[in-house]
Structure 1
Amino acid sequence: MTLRVGSTSYAQLAFMPEAEIGKTPTTGKGIDLRMTGESLEQNITKDVSKEINQSRQVSGMFLTDAQTSGGFNIELSAREYDPLFEALLMGTWSKFGDNGVLSVQSIAISYDDTTQLSKLEITANRNTDFTKLLSVGNYFSVSADEASAEFNYPLIVAQVEAGSIYVKTKLTDATLATNVKVYHGHVSNGVTDRSFSIEKRLTDKDQTFVYSGMHVNKMSLSFESQAAVTGNFDFIGMSSEWGTGRMLGDKSEYIPSQTGIPINTVVGMKGALLDGEDVREKLTAAIEKISIDYDNSMKGHAGIGVLGFVDITAGTINAGGTISMYFNDASIYNDVISQKHHRLEFAVYDKDGHGYAFIFPCLELKDPKAAVSGKDEALKMELGYTALQDSGNTDKTFFIERF
């Protein structure tokens, strides 16, 4: 018999939250994960005996370590990675309806020319006080059978009352009354430790690897013109095992991945707000690229009698990124020198208006560059930024809002 070559096209990731860190659940169902590539592995370290003998030969080897780490690459899509965002920030998604989706009876929409605000008067299925669920500046989206293309974009709360939400977007007067849903949720950095068991199945060969005690250590996201939003989640874990077939939970059919199409920056991103103002109205004609890097500075701790780690702890949050935009105004150099603090936020979404807003309530800009690298090229400005703890109302470093 001739053995056949395995193909990467048959690989499938899945995961499950762990009730006990490092213990793969034996009940419940695994959840499939979408990915564009992965680097999950257990790096086993051995050492050789230092014994000296007359034959000059090595008398033996022994295990010294087995570190479980790696990650996977993604194309961002709505709701697919929500548990990982929550674990990364060590926070908890806010309560809003059923897992961020609130079904309501109807929404009556009216626009006021005087205030230049659209009012969404909401009739809910039960007593719902939106002042307890939403705040000014929150992002949300609305869907309904009668919804027009105006709702294929996120909305930002400008004012909120018990039964109404006001937005600055000019919406057409209408009533939505069939299959009406409001989408919202937010999570910020906290201290709640979460871990997962992550499974890698190579289905054409029926080979399975399970990595346990996996903590989300880092995340990177790239928002680049004319491209899908891409990124990576990086983990540090406690152990690994090999087997066949499904190995998570009750090992029956897993919960499938979400079905939203990957979010792209062409139709799914308008720009960015710096201190509440669109950067395209002052600083630049357009942003070419933004990146986000978030690092929990996690460390594994070894102990006698344990191959791998006995525990994993989080360290200092290191968050920031880069911005590349077309050059227009050099005044940003003064902000760098004076160490002015800014608020940066931007939203990305799919064709149905669902996605995420990424918010840094306090950051400092750094490393401004506007080099003339050659002729016949657009002049660009490159900036770095470092996220800081907001000493104002939020007391946070980073928010993610879903809608």
Structure 2
Amino acid sequence: MTVADGSQTRLADISETVIGTIPATPAFQVMRYVSEGIRLAKQTAVPDEIRSDRNVSDIVDIGRMVQGPINTLLSYGTFDTWFERLFCSTWAGDVLKNGVEHKTGTLEKTFEHGPSDSYIRYRGCRWNTLDLSLQARQFVTANWGVMGIGSPTPTNAIITGATYVAATTTPVLNAGLNVGALSITGVAAAPKIQSMNIQINNNIYANDVIGSYEPDSHGLGRFDVTGTMTALFADLDLYNAILDHDDLALLITMGAATGEKYTLEIPKLKGLDGGPTVGGNGRAVIIEMPFQAKYDATSTASLKLTRAVV
């Protein structure tokens, strides 16, 4: 028996035409990732029955649902399909705005066991959350949260006719060299940002029905965009904007080559809290500002992503 090695695993993805149905003869896209925790989450329950001998009478398998994280490093062109699923929308030219479309995919994990491989597949997968993190002199990380309907019986064979498209090879982006623009409008002087986290949450929920072991379907909740930025305290502008509850806007351009950049834009946000904080000797005074996006009528969205930026 050959124990599966994490460095030899493969994560592949394909979009579904029919939600919850794995496409026939799929052309899987091999994905780039750092780690993942996708699994078929098993739900069990113990009947609360009274026994004179005080023993557990049974343990019942009552349901299952696919869920878990996929942790990645951001690179250009690698996750454009995942962005569509996350935004519940479709690229219009090179612009993507949050919408209400139902988009799903099938994930396949391949484990190397020497003479044979193990294949585990997850169908009806939705991209529920994204945690995008920019830290000074660090890689830009993009950690995704996935929810799915079910998982067919694991097998030792590929799907008949399946092919695999090689993973992209574009550079991993970092917050030092590859952030060409980071601006906050609505304040007189642009703050100097040390770190920023942006969380996107579709608040997807499962629709359970009697007679179904797995979720019947998923529904879309409110599209929430929140985050936290840490800025050096150089003046009162950002602090006053927080106190005055001003409308602010955030724009970040990330990329390593002309025409292979993203611009992420939150056209309207509010600073929820924050003020100058003294962390101790030998440290700069900072402002940590949690924020939340709201709908912008001009952009007709809360969040906008543009690709192929020069």
Relative to the length of structure 1, the TM-score reads 0.71
Structure-2 change in CA distance of 1:59 and 1:377 (3 Å): closer
- Residue number among 159, 166, 173 corresponding to 1:256 in the alignment: 166
The within-5 A match list for 1:30-109 is: 30-50=28-48, 58-95=56-93
Root-mean-square deviation (CA, aligned residues, Å) is: 2.0
Q: Deviations over 1:120-139 (max 9, x none)?
A: xxxxxxxxxxxxxxxxxxxx
Query: What is the DSSP-based 3-state SS (H/G/I as helix, E as strand, rest coil) of the residue aligned with 1:9?
Result: helix
2:240 equivalent to 1:329:
no
- AA at the equivalent of 1:282: A
- Which of 180, 185, 189 is 1:282 aligned to? 189
1:243 and 2:150 correspond: no
Equivalent residues in 2 for 1:2-401, closer than 5 Å: 3-50=1-48, 58-95=56-93, 185-204=94-113, 206-241=117-152, 242-247=154-159, 250-275=160-185, 282-284=189-191, 286-351=192-257, 354-391=260-297, 393-401=298-306
Does the 8 Å CA contact 1:299/1:315 hold for their aligned counterparts? yes
Aligned residue type for 1:71: P
Please tell me the residue identity of whatever aligns with 1:225.
A
TM-superposed CA distance for 1:331, in Å, is 2.2
Larger CA deviation: 353-362 vs 75-84: 353-362
* Structure-2 separation of matches of 1:294 and 1:351: 26
> Given the superposition, is the C-alpha separation of residues 288 and 46 from structure 1 closer, same or farther in structure 2, using an over 3 Å criterion?
same
> Which stretch shifts more, 53-62 or 186-195?
53-62
Tell me, yes or no, if the aligned pair for 1:222 and 1:231 is still in contact at 8 Å: yes
Please tell me whether the aligned partners of residues 77 and 355 of structure 1 are also in contact (alpha carbons under 8 angstroms).
no
The structure with the largest alpha-carbon Rg is 1
1:342/1:189 CA distance change after superposition, 3 Å: same
Q: Select between 34-43 and 24-33 the one with higher mean Cα deviation.
A: 24-33
Instruction: Show structure 1 runs of 5+ residues with no match.
Output: 96-184
| Counterparts of 1:332 and 1:195, CA distance in 2 | 40
Q: Provide the C-alpha distance between the structure 1 equivalents of 2:237 and 2:258, rounded to a whole number of angstroms.
A: 37
The offset of 1:27, in angstroms, is 2.7
Aligned AA (1:193): H
Displacement, 1:352? 5.2
Q: For 1:254, what is the secondary structure of its paired residue? A: strand
**Counterpart for residue 114 of structure 1:** none
Cα shift at 1:52: 5.2
User: How far 1:337 sits from its partner (Å)?
Assistant: 2.3
- CA shift digits 1:57-89 (9 cap, x unpaired): 555443211121012001101111000101111
> How many percent of aligned residue pairs carry the same amino acid?
24
TM-score calculated relative to the size of structure 2 = 0.92
Checking the alignment, whether the CA contact within 8 Å between 1:288 and 1:325 is kept in structure 2 is yes
Q: Secondary structure at the match of 1:30?
A: strand
Determine if contact 1:354/1:402 at 8 Å carries over to the other structure: yes
CA distance in 2, matches of 1:243, 1:350: 40
C-alpha deviation, 1:383, in angstroms: 1.2
Given the superposition, is the C-alpha separation of residues 252 and 212 from structure 1 closer, same or farther in structure 2, using an over 3 Å criterion? closer
SS at 1:215's partner residue? strand
Is the Cα–Cα contact under 8 Å of residues 79 and 355 in structure 1 kept in the other structure? no
Tell me how far apart the structure 2 counterparts of residues 282 and 52 of structure 1 sit (CA, whole Å): 68
Residues 2 and 113, structure 2, Cα contact 8 Å, conserved in 1: no
Aligned partners of 1:201 and 1:245 also within 8 Å: no
Q: Determine the C-alpha separation between the residues in 2 that align with 1:343 and 1:71.
A: 29
SS of match in other structure, 1:45: strand
Q: What SS does structure 2 have at the residue aligned with 1:335?
A: helix
Q: Is contact 1:77–1:263 with CA below 8 Å preserved after alignment?
A: yes
1:198-217 CA-partner distances (Å, limit 9, x unpaired): 11111236112111111110
In 2, the alpha carbon distance for the partners of 1:326 and 1:215 equals 37
**Alpha-carbon distance in structure 1 between the residues aligned to 2:140 and 2:123:** 28
Q: Which amino acid aligns with 2:100?
A: V
- Report the CA distance between 1:343 and its aligned residue: 1.5
CA distance in 1, matches of 2:77, 2:182: 21
- How far the C-alpha of 1:351 sits from its partner, in A, is 4.2
* 1:101 paired residue number: none
Unaligned segments of structure 2, at least 5 residues: none
Partner Cα distance (2:184, 2:173) in 1:
22
